[in-house]
Amino acid sequence: MDYDFNFAAVWRNFDLLLSGLGLGLVLALVSIAIGCVIGLFTAFGMLSKHRLLRWAAHGYVSAIRNTPILVLILFTFFALPQLGLRLGKIESFIVTLAVYSGAYLTEVFRSGLVALPPGLREAGLTIGLTELGTKVRITIPIMFRNVLPALGNNFISLFKDTSLAAAIAVPELTFHARKINVETFRVIETWLVASLMYVFACAIIAALLRRVERHLAIPG
């Protein structure tokens, strides 16, 4: 194999790659924030007394989890305008990723809620909180702390999924890497640097999340 490594072209465009990485992180953060809200509501829907709500929640989770995310991204961006819902590519991607993560987070929150001892809710009601007050002030905060590791894993895999935004030309890391690849033909260098950027970003996020987990852990 004759291949002379030359990273100059990649370094020249390194700020583009970095800005792409930053955009990917922002996309993942905004999406998971919206996804958390969706997931929380759907998790309560799954545990609801009403059969219809349970069915709707199960249907949503199972439909999203069994559909490839690329199909969802293309559907939101190319198909929804036919129904008159025209979104910009970044908005469209965030909507897709939020709905997508919502389905995965539903499972996370549902198992978190089920795992809570029933005494928590009873104690909340006993001291005079309403059903809603008990949820907002007691069960949800405790559940959040318990599911933090699972939430973190979801965030990391969501961050990796932002690479798919390149498919609808959102200028994130993979998009720029492809462009540099095509423009300079420094193939190995480009993809090596791009994947290492993802790997290190994931490792740093994981380390940060572990710190947060330790900080928020319920003592005892």
Partner 1 sequence: MEIAQALEVIWAARWALLAGLGNTILISVLSILMGTALGLVVGLILTYGNPVLRFVVRLYSDFLRGTPVFVLILACFYILSVVDIQLSAYEAGIFALTLFCSSHVGEIVLGALKAIPKGQTEAAKSVGLTFFGTFFSVLLPQALRMILPTWVTTATEIVKASTLLSVIGVVELLLGVQQVIARTFLSLELYFFAGFVFFLLNFAIEKAGRFVERKVAIPS
- The whole-angstrom separation of Cα 24 and Cα 195 is 13
Binding of residue 8 to partner 1 (CB under 8 A): no
CB of 194 to partner 1, least distance (A): 6
Determine if 72 is a binding residue for partner 1 (CB under 8 A): yes
- The residue among 28 and 138 lying less far from partner 1, judged by its C-beta, is 28
Q: Please identify, among the stretches 35-43, 76-84, 101-109, 121-129, the one whose residues bind partner 1 according to the rule CB under 8 A.
A: 76-84
Helix, strand, coil shares, percent, the chain, to 5 = 85, 0, 15
Q: Which segment (65-73, 104-112, 127-135, 146-154) binds partner 1 by CB under 8 A?
A: 65-73
Cβ closest to partner 1, residue 48 vs residue 62: 62
58 makes contact with partner 1 (CB under 8 A):
no
Mapped onto helix, strand or coil, the DSSP state of residue 11 is: helix
For residue 187, which amino acid is it?
A: V
Looking at beta carbons only, is 136 or 188 nearer to partner 1? 188
Rule CB under 8 A: choose which of 8, 114, 187, 217 binds partner 1: 187
Rounded distance, CA 175 to CA 207, Å? 26
Q: How far is the CB of 120 from partner 1 (least distance, A)?
A: 29
Q: Is 68 in the site for partner 1 (CB under 8 A)?
A: yes
Residues 134-173: x/- map of binding to partner 1 (CB under 8 A)?
--------------------------xxxxx-xx------
* Cα 80 to Cα 124: distance, rounded to the nearest angstrom: 44
Query: By C-beta, is 40 or 166 nearer to partner 1?
Result: 166
Q: What angle do CA 57, 164, 40 make, to 5 degrees?
A: 25
In our burial notation (b when 16+ CB lie closer than 10 A, e otherwise), range 33-72 reads ebbbebbbebbbbbeeeeeebeeebeebbeebeeeebeeb
